[in-house]
Every structure is written in structure tokens, then in C-alpha cells.
Chain A
């Protein structure tokens, strides 16, 4: 039973100028589902398309193709303002930059009040109380004092908690967290990650945790999706994937994080621009064989629950 399902989601952007502009396949046929009370980590480098996936689900842009299934309907193609508004009250986004995501000239109270008022979550008389409750839930105390502050009067960690409180205000089923801790100090990150764990458990929220940090993905996530150049290249339960990675890119990431020597490969990593047939990782892959440059591999379930997109480690037989 899934809270939200993404099917064959794709997004192309045109780059550069001129008559024939190359297309970046930022996201290509991505499919996965988010279950209530679980955290799914979406891991990849910058440029892998992971943030774009989160923003597509948040309907900040329209997908080029594919569907986003929520509450029995495909929201990607919904046009009625009422439907979109209802969706927005159920699916929230937390941004990476804790300062940029808050309006510098508005108080904390304003940020948390707005979603409450827009979606009529509580009657007007109860709004103030609810703001304080939410601040309490995310650990910003005393709530009355914090509510009156402006973003620049708070630390990065506190601002991110305000962003989380804002997302929680509407009692969402799904929260998309786009690298929520990468711009925070190391000692503060654990606090935010622990908060997400607590919310997942107490409120049964389905989280999508976008990150480039494997260690934090292991810390809080149940499932992991690894993205490279717009495609999902491996998926499965987090412990299993990290213990026995199938895809060469996942192995490379793990090696880099473990501090092992990695072999350098020269060449650019712009495999997502006007891609041709064949595996997009082929230029950097130590296991590449001739078929890799010819046919695009598909996601194949090589171990129970774990799939990879690789001719060599997860052949389609």
C-alpha cells in the first residue's frame, strides 16, 4: 500500500541557445513508490537528477512524461486548481538551503501560519495555538519567543526546523526532503535526522530523503534508490544494497566513502545530454563489456528485493 507512486517519470530540459538545442534528460523513466511510515533515500551526485525528481513530485515543474499517482489520481496531469491545492496540502517539500527557503522579511509565525490558513487545517481561532504546538514538535522552544523571530535571528539548524514545522502544518502524508542537512554544521545534522525519524514513527509520514551522503542514508532510511545521470541504477533495502552493492556506480560511491583508493577515469560526466543507446555509466565503468555501449540495460531484480541496471551484475535473464 503506497502513499505515492511515481511511474516512468521523465523530465527533459533544453540547454543552450540556438535552433537545435540539446536536451538534458535530467530524469528518465523513474519509477518507485513511497510507503507510509518509511523513509526512502534517493542518493546520487549533483546532476544525477535527484533534486529534479523531488521538485517534479512537488509539482514545481511539469514532467515531460510519466505519472505521479496519489490518492487514486494522476496529479501530474491534474489541471483543476482545487485538485492541485488538495495535493499540496498532502505533499510537502523541504529545501536544502535553510536560509533561502524562508522569506527574510517575514516572521517564523507567518511562515507556519500561511499553510494553516490556506488549507483551513484548523479554525482561525486555533491557528496561534497550532503554531506553538508545531514549534514544540520540532524542538523550537519557547515557541512564543521563536514565533516572533525573523529568519536571520535563527541559526541554520533552527531555520531548518522552522521549514520542517511549516511542512508539518498541513499534516501531510508525504514529505520530500531535498538535502535538508547538507548545508548545516555536522553536529547539527544528527538533530535534524533524528527529528525526521521521530516524525516518521509518530505521524506515519512517507519521507523521500534526497541526499548525496550514503552514511546519513543508512542512518535513517529503510529503502534506497541510487541515481546516475537521470536514471535509477540500483534500488533495494538500504542495508542490503550497502552491504552487497550490485551496480558499479554504487560500488564506486561506497569505495569513495570508505576511503579506499579509487581509480581515476578521465572524461566528462555529461552522459545525460542527448543520450544515445547504451549504459550511461560506461565511460567510468571498470566492468564494461561490449554490450554495455550498445544496449541500455534495464532494472533487473538480481536478489530478492534488490534490483540493478547493469548487464554484468544484473543481467536480464
Chain B
């Protein structure tokens, strides 16, 4: 006896209708994310960074790496974040760096998620030989250790531009997500509505894109956010080690020079602090959005107000 009780039904897979505020239509999924405190704060942080990135050309100097005679200045009204040893304005570097980071994260996220979704879901639904081949491919990519690979590639690759970096990171991360999405698609595949679509004569493509994928949106969105923030960390990490694109304006590069010039030892905390905080804040925002997506998709993760939630957030947030 399983007729669902409309009143007590917590079917979260079901789409939520949007609301209208004045003349603006807010889509259902956004409403859900905004309601959840974590993802709401995360979204605000990320939105803030996006705005900064967008207005970057307006609030920064023409060339953030231009040296000047005002070297190693502490933060002041003239240089909000101070200057580097060479006299470059750190505020401009951070603000312009935001553009690079966000663009990189979004590109890597998009490529990896697209690959993972298409390959993973098709493998699950088609089964048989297709599944075997895609699994082989996935396994090959999974066994490659990511950091050494990235180090090797960036050492040898002549072009270290943003797109290259994005593609390399996506190539390393897609397999992990593909496996997860394949698992979820497998469990959906034998659901009656998929069988019903098949019995109606729907083609495989339409089932993958029209029936399966729309029911996996939250997982796919989570995959995107995950790859996004990992790529930020990886990129900054590589640059900090001097292995990235050292001519770019980015948080990692700024931190690299800060470290290289031993600025902190000289009591100059600002070249190191600001890019790191920018990175940390963005990653935090993305992690919060990820947690929010998780909680919205799985109501059992939602808890009443409880202390210790922050610790759980920090230590529980290992992988999506």
C-alpha cells in the first residue's frame, strides 16, 4: 500500500515551482538554494566574487604587474592591499586574478562535467560493449595520479595558458565524476518511468538526455561545483610552486612572488595574505554551495539547529 500522501510527501526530486517577486520570476531551484542557509551564504560569496571579477577593469590599474617606485608599501588608501616588493598594486592583482580563477574554474568544471555526464550516463544506460569501453577509459584516467601528471604536463607544455590548464584539470577529474554519475544512472535506469519511455519507443539518446539527465541535475551541478573549486586549488597550488603560468595575473602567482621574496619574513604580510584570503573565501563559498546542493537534494541531511554543525561541515565535507 504505497499511495503517496500528498500532504506528507517529501519527494525532493520533484521540481519546485518558482516564485514571483514583483516582476521577476525566480526559478524553483534558486529558491531552494536561497532558502538553505549554507548555500545562500555560499551563493552570496560567489556572487560577490563574480561581481568583482566583472568590474575588475574598472577598479584596477591598467597593468597590475607594472612595477613602480612605491615598493613594499603597506595597505593604504592609495593601495588598498599594499604593493609588492616591485611596487605592483596588490589590489589590482587580486581583483584581476579573480577573473582568471573564475574563468578557469568554470571552464574546467564545464568540460569535466560534460564529459562525465555524457559518458557516464550513456555507459549506464546502454550497457554491454559501450559500457565496457567507457569503463576502460574511465579506469585508465582514474589510475593516473593527478598532481604528478599536472606537474609533468605543466613543466613540459610550452603553452601554459588558461585553456590548457582548464583542459588538463578537466582531463584529470572527469573520470572520478563519470563513475559517480554512472552509478546514479544505473539505479535510475530500471525505474518504471524509464522503462515506460522505452516501451513508448523513445530512442536511447532521448532517454539519456530527456529522462535520465534531468533527474540527475543536482548531482551534475554538484560535480560542476566540485571540479570548480578543486581546479582553483590546483591552479593556485601549481603556481605557488612556480609551475604554472607565471606571466599571468593570478592569486597563486602573487602568492608565489610573495613567498619567493620572503616578504613575510620581512614583516610584509600583505602580499601573501590578500590573495590567499581571496582564494580561501572563494573556495569556501563554493563548498557552502555544494553542501547546500547536497542538503536540498537529500532532505535527510537537513538537521534542526544544532551546535557543532560548523565542525561537521568542516570535517564532513571531504568529497561531494
Chain A in direct contact with chain B (Cβ < 8 angstroms): yes
Binding site for B on A (CB under 8 A): 58-60, 84-85, 88-89, 92-93, 95-106, 114-115, 118-119, 150-153, 155-157, 163, 166, 170, 183-185, 188
A101→B190 CA distance, assembly (Å): 11
Nearest chain-A residue to B191 (Cβ)?
A100
Given contacts A85-B201, A88-B201, contact A104 B196 (CB under 8 A): no
- Considering the complex, give the chain A residue whose CB is closest to the CB of B1: A183
B40 to chain A, nearest CB (A): 23
Chain A residues within an 8 Å CB radius of B280: none
Bound Cα distance A102, B11 (Å): 13
CA distance A163 to B200 in the complex (A): 11
- Asked if B199 and A105 sit within 8 Å, CB to CB, the answer is no
Tell me which residues across on chain B come within 8 A of A155, comparing CB atoms: 3, 6
A101 touches B192 (CB 8 A): yes
Q: Are B195 and A60 in contact (CB under 8 A)?
A: yes
Given A95-B192, A150-B15: A103 touches B202 (CB 8 Å cut-off)? no
**CB of A146, distance to nearest CB on chain B (Å):** 14
Q: Is the CB of B211 within 8 A of A119?
A: no
Known: A100-B191, A118-B202. 4 other contacts (CB 8 A): A104-B15, A105-B13, A105-B14, A105-B15
B140 sits at the interface (CB 8 A): no
User: Which residues of chain B from 197 to 238 have any CB-CB distance to chain A below 8 Å in the complex?
Assistant: 197-202, 211, 214-215, 217
| Min distance, Cβ A113 to any Cβ of chain B, angstroms | 11
Q: In the complex, what distance in Å separates the CA atom of A155 from the CA atom of B5?
A: 8
Q: With A93-B196, A105-B214 given, is the CB distance from A183 to B2 under 8 Å? A: yes
- Bound together, the chains give a CA A89 to CA B200 distance in angstroms of 7
- With A183-B1, A183-B2 known as contacts, the answer to whether A104 contacts B11 (CB < 8 A) is yes
- Contact check, A103 vs B215: say whether CB atoms are below 8 A apart: yes
A114:B13 contact, CB within 8 angstroms:
no
Bound Cα distance from A60 to B193, whole angstroms? 12
* B314 part of interface (Cβ distance < 8 Å): no
Whole-angstrom distance from the CB of A62 to the nearest CB of chain B? 13
Contact of A58 among B2, B197, B199 (CB under 8 A): B199
Q: Are A100 and B193 in contact (CB under 8 A)?
A: yes
- On whether the beta carbons of B196 and A166 are closer than 8 Å, the reply is yes
Write out the residue numbers on chain B whose beta carbons fall within 8 Å of the beta carbon of A88. 199-201
Q: Which residues of the partner chain B approach A84 to less than 8 Å between Cβ atoms?
A: 201
Shortest CB-to-CB span from A188 to chain B, Å, is 8
For B13, the chain A residues whose CB sits under 8 A away are 104-105
Does A106 contact B202, Cβ atoms closer than 8 Å?
no
Shortest distance between the CB of A151 and any CB in chain B (Å): 7
- Closest chain A residue to B17, Cβ basis: A150
Indicate if the CB atoms of A151 and B14 lie closer than 8 Å. Answer: yes
Q: Does B58 contact A (CB under 8 A)?
A: no
Per the bound structure, the CA–CA distance linking A100 and B14 in Å amounts to 12
CA distance A98 to B217 in the complex (A): 23
Which residue of A89, A97, A103, A114 contacts B2 across the interface (Cβ within 8 Å)?
Answer: A97
Q: How far is the CB of B258 from chain A (nearest CB, A)?
A: 48
- Residue B200 contacts which of A99, A104, A115 (CB distance < 8 angstroms)? A115
Q: Are A100 and B6 neighbours in the complex by a CB distance under 8 Å?
A: no
Of residues 172 through 193 on chain B, the ones whose CB sits less than 8 Å from some CB of chain A are: 191-193
Say yes or no for B304: interface residue by CB 8 A criterion.
Answer: no
Minimum CB–CB distance from B189 to chain A (whole Å) comes to: 12
Check A103 against B198 for contact (C-beta < 8 Å): no
Q: Please judge, given known A-B contacts A85-B201, A184-B3, whether A101 and B15 are in contact too, CB under 8 Å.
A: no
Determine the residue in chain B with the shortest Cβ distance to A58. B199
B3 touches A185 (CB 8 A): yes
What are the residues of chain A within 8 A of B198 when measuring CB–CB? 60
User: A97 CA to B196 CA in the complex, in Å?
Assistant: 11
Nearest Cβ distance between residue A287 and chain B, in whole angstroms? Answer: 34
| B214: contacting residue among A103, A119, A151, CB under 8 A | A103
Cross-chain pairs A/B with CB under 8 angstroms, 21 sampled: A60-B199, A85-B201, A89-B201, A92-B199, A92-B200, A93-B195, A100-B191, A104-B11, A104-B13, A104-B14, A105-B14, A105-B215, A114-B202, A118-B201, A150-B14, A150-B15, A152-B11, A155-B3, A163-B196, A166-B200, A170-B200
* A contact residues around B1 at 8 Å (CB): 183
| B197 pairs with A100, CB closer than 8 A | no
- Judge whether B201 and A115 touch: CB under 8 Å: yes
Q: Are B3 and A101 in contact (CB under 8 A)?
A: no
Q: Cα distance A96–B13 when bound, in Å? A: 20
CB distance from A23 to the nearest CB of B (A): 21
Task: Say whether B4 faces chain A, with CB atoms less than 8 Å apart.
Answer: yes
Residue of A nearest to B217 (CB): A105
Nearest CB on B from A225, distance (A): 22
Nearest neighbor of A118 in chain B, beta-carbon distance:
B201
Q: Using known A-B contacts A103-B197, A104-B215, A183-B1, determine if residue A97 contacts B192 with beta carbons closer than 8 Å.
A: yes
